[in-house]
Amino acid sequence: MSGERAPAPGDLALVEALVNTLSVDTGQDRLAAEFGLSGPALAQATALREGLRAACRAHAGHPVAPGSLEDLNALLAAAPLTVRIGPDGAATVTAMGEPTLLARVASAVAGAAADGTWSRLKACAAPDCQWAYYDRSPAGRGRWCVMSVCGARAKMRTYRAARTT
C-alpha cells in the first residue's frame, strides 16, 4: 500500500522503507535492487528486514514467529555503533567506519527508541499486507496501513461472516 501515508519521521523512514521492500501479497521483493545488495549482504539484509517486520507486528499487537526477535537482536548487536556527544551535550548513536545498512538501521532504531517514535512503526493487521507504516493517530492505536483499503476489507469480511451465521 505504498504512497498512502507520509513516511516515518527522520531516520525511522529507512527502517520503514527496508521493511516495505517486500510486497507480502504479490511476493515482489525489491531489496536487492533498492539497496544494491547481493550475496551475504543480501542474506543479512533479508533477515534484518524480516526481523524488523516482526518488531513492527509486535508494535501493532500481532503475534510474532518464535525466534524472529532473537534473530533481530543478534543482528543489531553486531552493528558497529558508537555514542557521540555533540557540542550542545546531546548524545547520538552513529555508525562506526563505513555506514553499512545494518549500522544505519541499528542507529535509526536506537534513535527512535530514545525519542519515543520506535513503537509507532507498525505492520498492517491484514495478513496479506503487513506493510510497515508510521502510526500518527493521536492514541497510537492504528491497525491498518490504509483504512480505506485494508481496514475496509477486514470490516467487510467481518460483516459478511456475521451475516452468514
Using DSSP's 3-state secondary structure scheme, residue 94 falls into: strand
pTM for the model stands at 0.86
- pLDDT tens for residues 17-31? 999 999 999 999 999
Q: Which residues pair with 87 in a beta bridge?
A: none
Q: What is the pLDDT of residue 22?
A: 97
CB 152 within 8 A of CB 143: no
**Strands in 56-129 per DSSP E:** 81-85, 91-95, 121-123
Q: What is the pLDDT of residue 156?
A: 56
In this prediction, residue 106 has a pLDDT band, given cuts at 50, 70 and 90, of very high
- pLDDT tens for residues 44-85? 999 999 999 999 999 999 999 888 899 999 999 999 999 999
